[in-house]
A and B are shown apart, each in its own frame.
Chain A
Amino acid sequence: MAKRSGASLGKRAGLWLVSYLVVAVLYLGFFSYPVQPARLEGLSYTVDEKVYQSLPYTYEIDYVSAATRSVVVVLTVRTISVPDKAYSAALRNAEAITENYLRQQYGLNVDVRFTGESTTSIYGHSAVRQDYDVYDTVTGPLGRTETLMVAKMSIVAWFCNDNLVSVAAGFFHGPLADPQITEHLRCH
């Protein structure tokens, strides 16, 4: 069959532009579509939840337990599939973010130290986990300063393919407590 002349360059460029504009609008619709938030189930915590931002749509749930002196923050973000390496790179910002947050909110000058990364399974999903120790420098009654571990922090992140969201959960607890948080996280 002989090849036909084909569309003019102007028509081709115009249709291409319109097509990709519609694609951009659809992507905006996808990334701003409300998520079904991941939750911590089966534990007794005081819950505070809110829409963190609308693009990409991000829902934040904070769980606080005065009894165990632990805090769990769960963020559910509308995303396309993200490789584990991306989560790993993103989570490494947690050190600086946590130090700045505690300094600005509570005037605490803590030192957050990365202790390791592993892969864990959360309700059938493979998740990246990073662990941190939180140190504070305190001055004793005799004027001697000491650096003590005051808390532990763990962060997990994974892509929940069942409802197209990324979940990041951070939990902070005393150095002696070891709450089994990951067993209670659900994203669908």
Chain B
Amino acid sequence: MDAAALILAITPVPILLYYISMYSDGRSISDLFGCLSAVWAILATFFVLGGFPGSLLFPVMLGTSALGGFLEYGRSRKGWDLAQGILLGLALIWVVILLEAI
């Protein structure tokens, strides 16, 4: 693995650290799913090096984070968590349509 692959693999680490920090403060489901999303992004680099289609990277990231938003809303009933789920869900739909359209 060359240095470029290493740089790409560590790119989601700041986001992972952010969500770990937020989760340790508030134990929010959406922050936990944010952690999972960042871990997926790190692992995906190695999967792509092995031949896995990279077009699944962003849809899985967005889907995981959107699901976290909806699950957290189910617990907290806060509008912000619902908005996160809806916005990320719309972003997921947009990415899927974009990937199909190009």
A residues in contact (CB < 8 Å) with B: 1, 3-7, 12, 15-16, 18-20, 22-23, 26-27, 29-30, 33, 35-36, 78, 80-83, 85-86, 89, 159, 161-164
Contact = CB atoms under 8 A, between A and B. Distances in A.
Interface of B: 2-5, 7-8, 10-12, 14-15, 17-18, 21-22, 25-28, 48-51, 53-55, 57, 76, 99-100, 102
Contacts of B53: 81, 83
Contacts of A22: 14
A19 B28 contact: no
A23 B12 contact: yes
B11 A26 contact: yes
Contacts of B4: 30, 33, 35, 78, 163-164
B83 to A, nearest CB: 14
B59 to A, nearest CB: 12
Nearest to B44: A81
A4 B27 contact: yes
Contacts of B11: 23, 26-27, 30
A23 B27 contact: no
B26 A162 contact: no
B22 A81 contact: no
A7 B76 CA distance: 15
B51 A23 contact: no
